Amino acid sequence: MSNQLSIAYLPTLKRWEGAVLWLYLDSCGNVTIWAGLMLPDAGEALDYPLLTSAVVPTPATAQEIENAWNQVHGMQEGHLPAFYAYSGCLRISAEDGDDIALGKLDILVETLSKGISGFDGMRQAWKMALLDMIFNLGPSGLLKGFPHLIAAVEHGNGHLAAQQCHRIGVDNERNQWTVDCFSGTISA
């Protein structure tokens, strides 16, 4: 069973990342599915319960998954997810997508708990902002790439944390949401 923070954050993750049922290329050209779940290679895609697009969907074979990953990987980058929904593309169910996302979020919450002093006792909004950032940046990207932010939250300084949380390559609305979480505008 997923932790409460992961469950609370999932709708926000889907707001920012979307909830795409098929393989697509994200803004960096990575093969991705559902709510920003990156599949770095066809081997990782084999771990996902992908289904055929038949009238009665059936579990995709390993060869079908590998073929689908390779096909999307070879497509032109820079399009909206609908561009990658070719005829016969493999899909994931919304329930399976949520389950996988929650499992990944649980791992990230554990990483935050171990990597940031006092994380478990922080305000919910701060935890949500940090979870969003670690999902987007990866553990090293957040914990090593934002030392001033980490120091600010560990010292309970939301004002300074709000000044230190800007991410490059993230849209303004998402960055502003993070600022609002740290500054107290959003109570989550």
The tens-digit pLDDT sequence of the chain (188 residues) is: 679 999 999 999 999 999 999 999 998 999 999 999 999 999 999 999 999 987 888 999 999 999 999 999 999 999 999 999 998 999 999 999 999 999 999 999 999 999 999 999 999 999 999 999 999 999 999 999 999 999 999 999 999 999 999 999 999 999 999 999 999 888 76
If asked whether residues 72 and 133 sit together in one domain, one would say no
Indicate whether 157 belongs to any domain.
Answer: yes
* Final residue in a domain of this structure, among 98, 130, 160: 98
- Within this chain, do residues 68 and 154 fall inside the same structural domain, yes or no? no
Residue 53: per-residue pLDDT: 83
Do 70 and 129 reside in the same domain of the chain?
Answer: no
Residue 47 lies in a domain: yes
Domain that holds residue 38: 4-98
pLDDT of residue 46: 96
Q: What is the pLDDT of residue 188?
A: 67
Into how many domains does the chain fold?
A: 2
Q: Do 83 and 32 belong together in one domain? A: yes
Q: Distance of alpha carbon 112 from its chain centroid, rounded?
A: 15
Domain membership of residue 135 (yes or no) is yes
* pLDDT at res. 1: 67
Q: 116 and 130 in contact (C-beta within 8 Å)?
A: yes
| Residue 106, in any domain of the structure | no
Same structural domain, 137 and 90? no
pTM: 0.94
pLDDT at 2: 74
Are 94 and 163 part of one and the same domain? no
